[in-house]
Structure 1
Amino acid sequence: MRESVRDAGLPSTLRSPWFVGFSAVAILHLIVNAADAAPWDGITKVMLAPILAAWVVDQGGPRIVAAALIACAFGDLFLIWDSTFVIGMAAFAIGHVCFIRFFLSHGALREIRRRPWFLCAYAVAGIALVSYAWTGLEPALRIAVPVYAAILVGTASTALAYNTITGIGGALFLTSDALILLGQANKWQPAAVGIWIMTLYILALLLLTVGILGRSNTAYRPLAPTL
């Protein structure tokens, strides 16, 4: 929001070998995912977030962002098996809380107060999505899903308040998880939904990381100490 794409330092950020490595694994994952080549689809999926976490550490970025990405990696791991789906949701929730903590410590709340439609629009979308899926959810998910949805709305809102790039990443993360929710509830889903989910998720992780690193590399001025 406050930074343009150029100001976010994207050209230098995208020249990183970590970006190249992430891109290679992402492309490989989409290929094996489309081919339903187990266990390689699961292995490549779990590799995605740790590569970005290593990139954040290598760039001297905020440790709480690296922690968020590691939590996402555990979420990817546990979502491989249906029996640990709720554990995977919990891991992703931890990751989102880390992202929210970072964005709030860098002025997101002040920006949301100036432009409250960020939060209002996402809150309405989240309530509508959960309401639509509610009748198809298993009883075990009827507590976890609204809580997770609220946290995800928080990530999307604060990411948009931080800058445009992270804002797009937050929106894509919400969209990807919305497709997963619709599948759990046996509601509408597009054809080849697995590819759509993973493409949106990969872009979400990348844009959140790039948006944070790009801004950090040019104008990293935390408003409060980061973890």
Structure 2
Amino acid sequence: MTGRERAARAALAAFAVAAVVHLAAQLAGSATADHLTKPVLVPLLAACAALRGGPRLLIAALLCGWAGDVLLQLDGDTSFLAGMAAFAAGHVCYLTLLTTRGAFVDRRRAALTAAGYAVVWLVALVVVWPGLPSGLRIPVAAYSLLLTAMAAAAAGLGPRATAVGGALFLLSDTLLATRLADLPQLPAADFWIMLSYLGAQYLLATGRYGSTKPFVQPARTSSVCAPP
């Protein structure tokens, strides 16, 4: 094992510890532990990806997520919109990475997946739209469309872990949107939002896109991604 790989594993272990502490803080209602741990979580994943020679777009996506995490800890609509913009930039990075380094598992399946995600986006938007503050309706609609496109691309172009990561990202932000719309919340809602978010970033950061090798295009008759 090389020194870089040992450092990458150390960063991943530190992420795991910080994630457990952060999620425990969510359950305990400790605002101090929440604010102290949240800003260090995604940078540890970015460090792991960088040490493993991950593509720049992956590292950029993670750093955009870190910026969004920090901005969303601040109060006010301006900080919220800035945080949303940072996450949107991250989704653009993920989407570009998926479309340039991914491989169609099956074109028909990819099209059906995209259609299914489009339906999910439309239904979720219809549900939350009436309760959203008027100034956030258009930004939330645009952001959620970009996020849904990223999740659909992850499912249609990436391996299974990447597909799950995209779906978890969509789930996390959908739960957050229901809060913005003042809809009924799950018990310990912050815990579930962060659990799905951290799971998403982990799967996107440590999946096959963490390698410097592009996907090998699968054979026309194959229904699974070929190994790199």
The 2-side partners of 1:33 and 1:192 are apart by 8
Distance 1:112 1:175, change over 3 A: farther
Which of 141, 153, 163 is 2:159 aligned to?
A: 163
Q: Deviations over 1:70-122 (max 9, x none)?
A: 000011111112411111111100001100000000135x4574421111111
Aligned to 1:9: none
Q: Is the 8 A contact 2:71 2:83 kept in 1?
A: yes
Structure 2 residue matching 1:60: 3-state secondary structure: coil
- Corresponding letter in the other structure for 1:192: A
Pairing 1:78–2:74 present:
no
Q: Which amino acid aligns with 2:144?
A: A
CA contact (8 A) 2:49 2:206 kept: no
- Amino acid across the alignment from 2:132: L
Q: For 1:126 and 1:178, how far apart are their aligned partners in 2?
A: 9
Cα distance in 1 for partners of 2:215, 2:186 equals 42
Name the counterpart of 1:209: 205
SS of structure 2 residue aligned to 1:22: helix
Distance 1:155 1:26 in 2: 24
**Given residue 89 of structure 1, which amino acid in structure 2 is its aligned partner?**
M
Q: Secondary structure of 2:173's partner?
A: helix
Residue by residue over 1:42-94, the C-alpha shift from the partner in whole angstroms, topping out at 9 and shown as x without a partner, is 22111111111111110011011000000000111111124111111111000
How many residues align structurally?
208
Task: Give the superposed CA RMSD.
Answer: 2.1
Correspondence 1:185 to 2:181: yes
1:57 to 2:50 alignment: yes
* Partner Cα separation in structure 1 for residue 94 and residue 179 of structure 2: 25
Query: Residue 165 of structure 1 contacts residue 208 of structure 1 at CA under 8 Å; is this kept in 2?
Result: yes
After superposition, give the CA deviation of every residue in 1:136-169 in whole Å (9 maximum; x if it has no partner).
0001111101101111111111111211001001
Task: Choose the corresponding residue for 2:88, options 84, 89, 93.
Answer: 93
* Bigger relative contact order (CA 8 A; separation at least 6): 1
Q: Does 1:153 align with 2:123?
A: no
Report if aligned partners of 1:65, 1:98 keep a CA contact under 8 Å in 2. Answer: yes
Q: Secondary structure at the match of 1:190?
A: coil
Contact map agreement 2:18 2:37 (CA 8 A) in 1: yes
Distance 1:193 1:112 in 2: 36
Q: TM-score, normalised by structure 2?
A: 0.85
Aligned pairs (5 A) from 1:1-227: 16-83=9-76, 84-108=79-103, 110-111=104-105, 113-115=107-109, 116-160=111-155, 161-213=157-209, 216=211, 220-221=214-215
1 CA distance for matches of 2:160 and 2:133?
36
Verify the 8 A CA contact 2:58 2:209 in the aligned structure 1. no
**Cα contact 2:26–2:191 (8 A) shared by 1:** yes
| 1:8 match | none
Q: Is the 1:59–1:213 Cα contact (8 Å) retained in structure 2?
A: no
5+ long unaligned stretches in structure 1: 1-11
How much identity, in percent, do the aligned residues show? 38
- Report which of the two structures shows the higher radius of gyration computed on alpha carbons: 2
**What runs of 5+ residues in structure 2 fail to find an aligned partner?**
218-228
Q: Contact between 2:26 and 2:34, CA under 8 Å: does it hold in 1? A: yes
| Counterpart AA for 1:182 | T
